[in-house]
Structure 1
Amino acid sequence: MTEVKIRQIGLADVEELQAISCETYEATFGADNPRELMEEYLAQAYDLNKLKRELGTEGTYFYFLEVDGKTAGYLKLNVGQAQSEPMGPDNLEIERIYLRTAHQGKGLAGKLLTKAEEMAQALGKSRIWLGVWERNYRAQKFYAKHGFSRFSEHFFMMGDDAQTDYLLAKQL
């Protein structure tokens, strides 16, 4: 029988967090971005010192999803000043929710989403929000299925290309 566990992580897990962060981000976005740009982004976004700071940030929570004792995915949540966009005190942000390719399509992302909702309720938040890349159709479909709807857009540059994240939210 498969054992699925979600556990909060800390500084002792930073190297594993870095490895799964790079692996899952590249698997999700690598085919749509030039290799050089991807390598530059991964080196900056998932630098060990940066991840250590994130793990120590007040209002930020990281969780590993483990399947039979092996890390299958992870979740990063932010509240208060830790949110990547100022959404106010009643909001919880899902900044990252990623699964290794071999674990996708098995209902595990739903377990991470449930964890986010449980944390939001425990922290007295009334809304969960996140950003989804405009071309990540699979994620958009997943969040729509779970009651999220688009409320805004966020524009950013990826190399020389203008990109858009759709901001999605769900009332609890």
Structure 2
Amino acid sequence: MASIIINKASAEDTDCIQKLGIQTFTETFAEDNTEEAMEKYLRESFNTEKVRSELNNPDSHFYIAWEEDNPVGYLKVNCSKAQTELQDETSLEIERIYVKKSHHGQKVGQLLYDQALKTAQHLNKSYLWLGVWEENLRALNFYRKNGFVEFDKHTFRLGDEEQTDLMMKKILD
């Protein structure tokens, strides 16, 4: 495996983020959800206008993991009003760590998580938090390994379906 480089994304990366988001979300969740629910979610969450708007939001930060010229994953973190729920000024939300299935087990997710940690420290945040689907055992194990603990639950809508996300957080030193 070639070395992985993490770069901050900008509005010029809209197409890259959009394609990575669709591919990685589909690879991770398609087999556990209906085609209709997936199509609706992908259409609403990864359309060009929405992705560009998120990239232009000063309270959201995107980072792309590159293996040479190949984007293999990305990170989206939110602070302040860009956070999907808590909107606590002392926290940073990890909204997405998405890695192509071809690169699972190759530490790309860990590198993206490390970038989230650096971003939180740079922004002087007290803790990181996130929501993860209760049935996504791979992600749950990853976050637990990195020191996250469950503190609540919330409903995640995928299409017209409601799923339960576990809310997890990690207090920073």
The two structures have a TM-score, normalised by structure 1, of: 0.96
Which of structure 1's runs of 4+ aligned residues deviate more than 2 A?
156-162
> 1:156, CA displacement in angstroms?
3.5
- Contact 1:149-1:168 within 8 A present in 2 as well: yes
> Does the C-alpha gap of structure 1 residues 159 and 127 become closer, same or farther in structure 2, counting only changes over 3 Å?
same
Matched with 1:37 is 37
Kindly, what percent of the aligned residue pairs are identical? 39
Check conservation: 1:3, 1:69, Cα contact below 8 A. Answer: no
| Structure showing greater relative contact order (alpha-carbon pairs closer than 8 Å, 6 or more residues apart) | 2
In the other structure, the counterpart of 2:49 is 49
Superposition CA RMSD, Å: 1.3
Q: Which runs of 5+ in 2 are unaligned?
A: none
The range that moved more, 148-157 or 22-31, is 148-157
Structure 2 letter corresponding to 1:149: V
Give, in angstroms, the shift of residue 4 of structure 1: 1.4
Distance (Å, rounded) in 2 between the aligned partners of 1:124 and 1:83? 16
In 2: Cα distance, 1:70 partner to 1:13 partner: 13
Aligned residues: 172
Contact 1:27 1:101 in 2 (8 A): yes
CA offsets per residue over residues 142-170 of structure 1, 9 Å max, x none?
Answer: 10011001000002443554310000100
Residue 37 of structure 2 contacts residue 160 of structure 2 at CA under 8 Å; is this kept in 1? no
Aligned partners of 2:76 and 2:94 also within 8 Å: yes
- Residue of structure 2 in register with 1:8 after alignment: 8
* Residues 1:130 and 2:138 aligned together: no
Q: Whole-Å Cα distance in 2 between the matches of residues 160 and 60 of structure 1? A: 26
